[in-house]
Structure 1
Amino acid sequence: MAAHFLFLALLALASSHAIASDPNQLQDFCIADPNSDVFVNGFVCKDPKQAKAEDFFFSGLDKAGDTGNKVGSNVTLITVDQIPGLNTLGITLARLDFAPYGLIPPHTHPRATEILTVLEGTLYVGFVTSNPNNQLFTKVLHKGDVFVFPEGLIHFQFNYGKTNAVAISGLSSQNPGVILIPNAVFGTKPPISDDILAKAFQLDKKTVDWLQAQF
């Protein structure tokens, strides 16, 4: 009886792991139908007889994103919203542009691992492991270098140089999601209580109020 229970428990764990990422394909493709009134985990498929090459196409990734913002960076994300044919394929692409000393703040992708390749410039990148260690792994990347950020872990990219930098990232989900840590903590709507944030970050409430005002 115990052996039978153990077998079922292991089977359940294996099954839960198998469905813990974007679903596998059961057909050649499933072009997203954004006009459907049906809500599913992803998008409803359009009739494959109506498929056309444009459903698998995007143009414009050669154009630099606007980095004239407070952090000096821009992400051009190509998800299923831009390429309907990505639906159920479990992959996304992004172009990352950095002004000199530009930063993509610490953030996570709750549904995807990210692999980044530097095309131009120099980037200082890193990620932090989960509790209890919170170990930081960092690397300075140059043109042609590649770095991986494991799914769900907090990571960042910073332009070390005095010139613009460009990178391309692939992510293992058609909709990886992004949680910018500063925005998620200090820019919520409605705001998190300054009493809670003051205690969590060991700051006085005036500092917390100032930080919240930035977002």
Structure 2
Amino acid sequence: MNALPYVFLLVTLLANQSCGTLVVDYCVADFNYPSGPTGFPCKNPAKLTADDFVTSKMGIAGNTSNPFNAAVYLAIDTTFPAFNGLGISMGRLDLDVGGVIPAHTHRSSEVILVIEGTILAGFVDTNDTAFYKTLKKGDIMIFPPTLMHFQVNVGNTPALAFVSLNSANPGFQTITFSFTANNLPTEVVQKISLIDSAQIKKLKRMFGGTN
């Protein structure tokens, strides 16, 4: 497969998403200090090398042995410090047959580019209108910021996609985890979600929640 057109497209999307005005050439994150509203402080530029601007982790397939049969690797400022301050990040989605990236939200726009397989992707707007489409290799779809969205492998082979986001740290919030991977009482979750209490308790056990 000739990946160059896809790489060019993704790089172009990333470049167009970045909306900040830089006052320095770059700001590789220095994790010796806490982050703030604009990200982490910068490492000393004199101590940087080309290796600080390169990662090979996007080329590694994720482990899909989990309840969702899917894996996500996020290259954000905390995992790829060179993204700090640039207003961009990327992710790799590996979906086994039937795999799901569950409904989630984040505070940035997202573009998905399908590399292999067939993925049903969609989002729901604030009028509760659902927009969804079956995507094939080479297709892209945009998910507006803060809106709940998802991806499902509806094909007969594993699927691979890359996403780009216009934030160095988009702040992902997965709906299932928000309800069940914490100490929010089962009776409260039941009232606000109308999900059966037995199912809520099952999900809490599965994802490490209590109460």
TM-score between the two structures when normalised by the length of structure 2: 0.83
SS of residue paired to 2:57: coil
**RMSD (Å) for aligned C-alpha atoms:** 1.8
Match of 1:114 in 2: 110
Structure 1: give runs of 5+ residues left out of the alignment. Answer: 1-20
- Give the distance between the partners of 2:57 and 2:201, measured in 1 at CA: 40
> Match for residue 53 of structure 2?
56
Deviation at 1:145, TM superposition (A): 0.2
SS at match of 1:169: strand
In the alignment, structure 1 residue 137 sits paired with structure 2 residue 131? yes
Write the distance in 1 (CA, Å) between the matches of 2:95 and 2:121.
Answer: 13
Q: Which residue of 2 aligns with 1:194?
A: 186
Query: Following the alignment from structure 1 to structure 2, what is the Cα–Cα distance between the partners of residues 185 and 143?
Result: 33
Give the total of aligned pairs.
Answer: 189
List per-residue Cα deviations over 1:117-165 (Å, max 9, x = no partner).
00000000110112xx211110000000000111111100000011000
The aligned counterpart of 2:98 is 101
Could you say which structure has the larger radius of gyration?
A: 1
Cα offset for 1:195?
Answer: 2.4
Q: Does 1:162 align with 2:156?
A: yes
Counterpart CA distance in 1 for 2:154 and 2:197 is 33
* Cα shift readout 1:9-36 (whole Å, capped 9, x = no counterpart): xxxxxxxxxxxx9853211111111123
Residues 62, 209 of structure 1: alpha-carbon distance in 2 compared, 3 angstrom cutoff: closer
Give the share of equivalent positions with the same residue, in percent.
Answer: 38
| Aligned positions of 1:123-134 closer than 5 A | 123-130=119-126, 133-134=127-128
Tell me the CA shift for residue 51 of structure 1: 2.2
Q: So what's the TM-score if we normalise by structure 1? A: 0.81
Residues 203 and 141 (structure 1), Cα distance of their counterparts in 2 relative to 1, 3 Å cut: closer
Report the counterpart of residue 4 of structure 2 in structure 1. none
Larger mean Cα displacement after TM superposition, 81-90 or 121-130: 81-90
Structure 2 CA distance for partners of 1:182 and 1:57, relative to 1, 3 Å: same
- Quote the Cα distance in structure 1 between the aligned partners of 2:197 and 2:58: 43
Q: 2:167 & 2:174 partners in 1: Cα distance?
A: 18
Give 1:83 shift: 2.5
Partner residue, 2:12: none
Contact persistence 1:22–1:88 (CA under 8 A): no
CA distance 1:203–1:105, shift in 2 (3 Å): closer
What is the rounded CA distance, in whole Å, between the counterparts of 2:206 and 2:163 in structure 1? 28
Superposed displacement of residue 208, structure 1: 3.3
1:213 aligns with 2:201: no
CA contact (8 A) 1:22 1:173 kept: no
Q: Matches of 1:205 and 1:101 in 2, distance apart?
A: 26
Task: Find out whether 1:70 has 2:67 as its counterpart.
Answer: yes
CA distance in 2, matches of 1:174, 1:100: 30
Shift of the 181–45 alpha-carbon distance from structure 1 to 2, 3 Å rule, reads same
User: C-alpha separation between the residues in 1 aligned to 2:59 and 2:204?
Assistant: 36
SS at match of 1:126: strand
Amino acid at match of 1:185: F
Aligned equivalents of 2:199, 2:79: Cα separation in 1:
40
Segments of 5+ residues of structure 2 without an aligned counterpart are 1-17
